[in-house]
Structure 1
Amino acid sequence: MATDDSVDLKFRLFDGTDIGPTKYDLSTSVTTLKQIILSIWPQDKKNGPKTINDLKLINGGKILENNHTLAEARLPLGELPGGVITMHVVVRPLTMEKSERNDLDIPKTNRCVCCIM
Structure 2
Amino acid sequence: MAQDDSIELKFRLFDGSDIGPDKYDPATTVASLKEVILARWPQDKEITPKTINDVKLINAGKILENNQTLAESRVPVGELPGGVITMHVVVRPPQLDKNNVCTEKQLGDAQKQNRCTCTVL
In which range does the TM-score fall when normalised by the shorter chain? 0.7 to 0.9
Stretch deviating more after TM superposition (24-33 or 75-84): 75-84
Aligned to 1:87: 87
CA contact (8 A) 1:27 1:69 kept: yes
1:25 is the counterpart of 2:25: yes
SS at match of 2:82: coil
Q: TM-score, normalised by structure 2?
A: 0.78
SS at match of 1:107: helix
Q: 1 CA distance for matches of 2:3 and 2:85?
A: 13
Provide the aligned C-alpha RMSD in A: 2.1
Where structure 1 has 5 or more consecutive residues not aligned to the other structure, the ranges are: 109-117
Deviations 1:59-113 (A, max 9, x none): 000111111111111113354222000000000011222444458x5136xxxxx
Where structure 2 has 5 or more consecutive residues not aligned to the other structure, the ranges are: 109-121
Number of residue-to-residue matches in the alignment: 107
1:39 is the counterpart of 2:39: yes
Partner AA of 1:70 in structure 2: L
CA contact (8 A) 2:11 2:87 kept: yes
Q: 1 CA distance for matches of 2:76 and 2:27?
A: 15
SS at match of 2:16: coil
Q: 2 CA distance for matches of 1:107 and 1:62?
A: 38
Q: 2 CA distance for matches of 1:34 and 1:88?
A: 12
CA contact (8 A) 2:58 2:89 kept: yes
Percent of residue pairs bearing the same amino acid type? 66
SS at match of 1:32: helix
Q: 2 CA distance for matches of 1:6 and 1:57?
A: 19
Q: TM-score, normalised by structure 1?
A: 0.81
